[in-house]
Structure formats: structure tokens, C-alpha cells
Amino acid sequence: MSQSHRIKRRQLLKLAATGGAALAFGRLPDAVHAQVVNASAPFADYKALVCVFLFGGNDSWNMVVPRSDAEYQAYQLARQNLAVPQSDLIAIDPLVPLPNGAQIGLHPSMPEIATLFQQDEVCAVVANVGPLIAPTTLDQYRTGAATLPPQLFSHNDQQDQWHSLRGREPSKSGWAGRIADAFGSQAGGSIALNISLSGQTLFQAGAVSIPYSIGPTGPVDFFGLDGADALSVARKAAFDEVARANYATFYERAFGRVQQRALQSAQSVNAALASVRAPNSTPFTTTFPASPLGTQLKTVAELIAVRGTLQATRQIFFVATGGFDSHDDQAQDQPGLLANVSACLAAFHRATAEMGVAQSVTAFTQSDFGRTLTSNGDGTDHAWGGVQLVVGGAVHGRELYGNYPVLRLDATLAADGADDVGGGRFIPTTSSDQYAATLARWFGVTDADLPLVAPSIGNFAMQDLGFLA
């Protein structure tokens, strides 16, 4: 083993003390190695990624819709009673003309996204993207020649695929967690690089790095330990003594460190947030929708505002909203769901623009999977490829990236087209690894570390989709 790949006993103990309990004797996992050998200076700039996860599987064929006559007719034939009326679509025109003069539009409940795309040019559409291990044709799928992600069309399994990019192998880490592993101390910060406002998630779990989970409005204070009165001070001293005790087992000591870290993080983050929540101290005037997603994104904006206090140069946030499993009542439920996503993403972008950090913050959607193009009578069923949105000042906006099925020269949007495995389930023509790799490279991940973040990226000729500057 070369000297650069050696790890000293003290380093190993330090890693274990910061959450590396998964380490075993033998070769270090690549993510751990990346953190140990990463001695680069901290980033001089600031960047944030914000993952907006739409739980349930968003029917994105009704989010971005063909509106030119021939293409719309194919769409309407497949969608039947679920087709959005052609006259209701909000027209958007990519800067690069689409093949055969095709045109697209947005669902009528998404006027804010239309403005971000068409006028502000800070929104991009990524079409027919989903988990893939390698480029896959319909013939390879039907003959069994393709290596496919396991348990296609399953909610939990495909959420894990999006979160971990695991391919065929189970993974205990997510691609955001592996970014934190690769950066190590380079990202700086007095709290974790990864912060979830919607529960613990595989997306942010690292082999070494530890994510931080808070509530929609911030960390929950430890009851009885946050006051300045004598009793609260005494309680906190007792808490610290119990947490720091030299317990006999590794698990007890690790649990004590978790409790200490949780208390310290809650106190520092809440103190920072209080500074921008005080009267006349708000860093932005944008009003966010009063929905769970709006609340989460407002808190993310406030956390970005206090990045200096928290000494953060790189942050990845996870927020989420649900209700997209539209097997039934889709025509009634989907407009409100999409309206909420549109209004929340627009408000968040406006807030970052107010703070002068829009160029440094990129929000992007993910969802379990796309849904069937065909109607089941009252909704749609689980499928594979779908459409995602990317919003931010660094986005090469007003463009459609990837291959929306109706815009391909060798296929139509009609069911049983060239990429349809049956029932209007489209094989992705862009992989989630490519999507993640594009975001990761903008975020500062080196080409050498890109396979650590997106393990299947080497199977695809295009590793950067080009939607970020």
C-alpha cells in the first residue's frame, strides 16, 4: 500500500469518534478514504443544493405537455380522460427549437414555473430521466440482455434508487452523503453539510459524514436545557456529565456523542435563526406559501441567510411533499399538488435572489418514478422515466434537456412507442446518475470523485447534461 493510502491509528479512532462506526478491519471504503486523504483548503465560495422530493411518483406527463397539434393528439389519445385541455396549457418555448417544430407547455396550475422558465430563464426541464445502470433499449429490456435496477415500479425501491444511485447493489449511503464524504473538512461549517427538513433520508447518509435532521421550522429545542435560569443551567450540566461519561461499551459512548452533538447543533442553529427572525431583521420579504413545503423552503432560505454564522461553504438540503401517488382522483388532486410545487419553488428562488445568492443555489426535483402515459380510468400507475425541474441562477434555463418521447424522431408519445415497455411505461433515456453528476460537478465534486457519487456514471457517454453553468 502506498504512503498516500495509509491511515494512522489516530485517524481511524478520530473517524470512529465522528460517526465511522461502520469501519471494519481491512481496506477502507472509498468514501472514508476520500475524507481521510482530502487535505484541500476550504472552499472560498458558497454553494447550496436543494432537493425537492415529490413522494408518491409525480405524473410529470401532465406537468410538461406537448402542445403542437400532431404531438398533442398523440398525447391525448394515450391520456384519454386525464389529458390537460390543449387550450389550457401555458406555452413555453425553449431557446433551442425542438425537433420537427414541436412545442411544449406547462400544466395551467404552474404559472410561476412558466415565468421562471420563459421570462427569467432560470428553470430547465430534464425529460425522461430515471434510474438506469447503463443505456437500455427496448429490445435489451425484452430479451433480458439489459442490467436493470431491481424492483422497478416499487415505491420504496425506486425512492432508494434515486437517493443512493445504488444500481444492483444495496447501499447504506446516498449520493449527497457521499459528496459530504468526498469533501471532508473542505466544506467547513459548524454543522453538517447535509440537512434534512423532512425526516431522515438515505439520500444524505454518508459512510463517514453524518447528516443533520431538523423540523420544518428548524431544530427542536431540548426541553428544560435551553434556559438561562439556574435550574436549566444545572440540568444542562447534568446532561453533559451523563453524555460525556466513559461508558464501558462503544455503543453507549457513541450514543452519548449523538446526544451532545444534537444539543450543540440545536443551540447553535436556533441562535443563528433567531438573528434573522427578529423584528426588522428578516433577510428577505418574499412570502412563502403556507404549506408544509413552503414552510420547509422558507426555513432553508433562512438557513442560507445565516451561512456565515454557521461557517458553511457547502450545504445540501432535503425537503419533501407527498400526495403524488395518483392511482385515482388524479384530475381532482393533481392541479393543487402542482400549484403548490410551482408557487413554492418560485418563492424560494425569489428569496435567494433577494439575498443575492441565486447564482449559488440550485433547487431540483426528484420523485419515486414517472407514471404511465395511459389512464387507468381515474388515474395513472407506477412507471419509470419522468420529467424533473431544475431552478436557480446558475441554471442554463429555458431549455429542455434529454429526450421527451414525443420529441424524438424515432418515436411518438403514443403507447407502445420505441421506449415503451408496456402500458405507457417509458425506459429513461437519461439516467439519474447523469442528473446527479451534473449537479455534483457544479457543486464542486471533482471528476476523480464523480464515480464515488454516481457509481454508474462511467457507463454513459455524457456525464454532464449541461444544465448548470
> pLDDT, tens digit, for every residue of 200-218?
999 999 999 999 999 999 9
State the cell numbers at 298: 422558507
> Do 65 and 89 meet the contact criterion of CB atoms below 8 Å apart?
yes
CA-nearest of 318, 28, 348, 20 to 175 is 318
Dihedral of CA atoms 316, 318, 319, 320 in degrees, nearest 10, equals 150
Q: In this model, does residue 28 exceed pLDDT 80?
A: no
3-state secondary structure of 468: strand
The residues near 51 (Cβ < 8 Å, ≥ 6 apart) are 176, 203, 316, 317, 318, 319, 363, 364, 366
110, 90 Cβ separation under 8 angstroms: yes
Measure the CA–CA gap between 143 and 217, rounded to whole angstroms: 50
Alpha helices in 40-134 (DSSP H): 69-79, 111-118
Per DSSP bridges, beta strands 430-431 and 123-130 are parallel
Phi, psi values for residue 42, rounded to 5° = -60, 155
Element (H, E) at 91: strand 90-92
Q: What is the pLDDT of residue 24?
A: 28
Q: At 414, is the pLDDT very low, low, confident or very high (cuts 50, 70, 90)?
A: low
Mapping DSSP to helix (H, G, I), strand (E, B) and coil, where does residue 52 land?
A: strand
Q: How confident is the model at residue 237 (pLDDT cuts 50, 70, 90)?
A: confident
Contacts of 279 (CB under 8 A, 6+ apart): none
- 5: exposed, middle or buried (C-beta count within 10 Å: 0-12, 13-18, 19+)? exposed
The pLDDT value recorded for residue 31 is 42
Residue 34 has pLDDT above 60, yes or no: no
Q: Output the pTM of the full model.
A: 0.89
Which of residues 25 and 16 earns the better pLDDT score? 16
The answer to whether 198 and 53 are in contact (CB under 8 A) is yes
Whether 411 has a pLDDT exceeding 70, the answer reads no
- Compute the distance between CA of residue 402 and CA of residue 161 in angstroms, rounded to an integer: 19
| Confidence category of residue 197, pLDDT binned at 50, 70, 90 | very high
H or E stretch at 354: helix 330-354
Q: Which CATH architecture has domain 47-218+284-459?
A: 3-Layer(aba) Sandwich (3.40)
Q: Is residue 176 predicted with pLDDT exceeding 60?
A: yes
Residue 27 in this model has a pLDDT that exceeds 80: no
